[in-house]
Amino acid sequence: MTNTVSMTVNGKPVSGTVEPRTLLVQFLREHLGLTGTHVGCDTSQCGACVVHVDGNSVKSCTLLAVQADGATVTTIEGLANGNELHPMQAAFREHHGLQCGFCTPGMVMSAVDLANKVKNPSEHQIREWLEGNICRCTGYHNIVKAIKAGATVMQGGKT
């Protein structure tokens, strides 16, 4: 049995035929070739697959592709404005908030959602927010710094 799904991904209309069990992350990676969204676990803990669905950060391994039918999805590939990095991406680079890069897309997408929802998040708020994103490389120190700086820029401030 297959289903047809249609959604808007990174501003473009897309559609495809999927099995009922196909996860949103599989649809993004395997059907659309958007391999920036990663799969780091099979229990919805690691957050490497975080994307935005209708403006909220979502673990794309926790949603079936059919559940996203009609939704607006933004992945890490859709975050930058052409060659200009999104302020959160730029902050991760500036503050060395990534090493191997595998958790990074999920971290950045999660961080952007935090900055959209919470004005000037404190270190404590950032650390609590990242409960669902695991990084094995950085000890989180520079990720927290980067998110604080990125959030400030997103809210019109300077770092």
Length of the chain: 159
Q: Do β-strands 56-59 and 72-74 pair in parallel, antiparallel, or remain unpaired?
A: unpaired
Check if the beta carbon of residue 55 is closer than 8 Å to that of residue 15: no
From 4, 17, 19, 20, residue interacting with other proteins (rule: CB under 8 A): 19
Q: How far is the CB of 137 from other proteins (least distance, A)?
A: 5
Could you say which residues in the range 135-154 bind other proteins, by CB under 8 A? 135-144
> Rule CB under 8 A: is residue 84 a binding residue for other proteins?
no
SS (H, E, C) 73-86: EECHHHCCECCECC
> Rule CB under 8 A: is residue 76 a binding residue for other proteins?
yes
Tell me which stretch binds other proteins (CB under 8 A): 1-9, 63-71, 123-131, 151-159.
123-131
Check if the beta carbon of residue 147 is closer than 8 Å to that of residue 93: no
> Rule CB under 8 A: is residue 80 a binding residue for other proteins?
yes
From 40, 66, 69, 155, residue interacting with other proteins (rule: CB under 8 A): 40
> Rule CB under 8 A: is residue 27 a binding residue for other proteins?
no
Q: Measured between alpha carbons, how far is 52 from 57 in angstroms, rounded to an integer?
A: 4
- Tell me the CB-side half-sphere exposure of residue 116, using CA atoms within 13 A: 10
From 43, 81, 119, 158, residue interacting with other proteins (rule: CB under 8 A): 43
Amino acid at 14: V
* Residue ranges that bind other proteins, judged by CB under 8 A: 19, 21, 29, 34-43, 45-46, 48, 75-77, 79-80, 85, 89, 92-94, 96, 98-105, 108, 123, 126-128, 130-131, 133-144
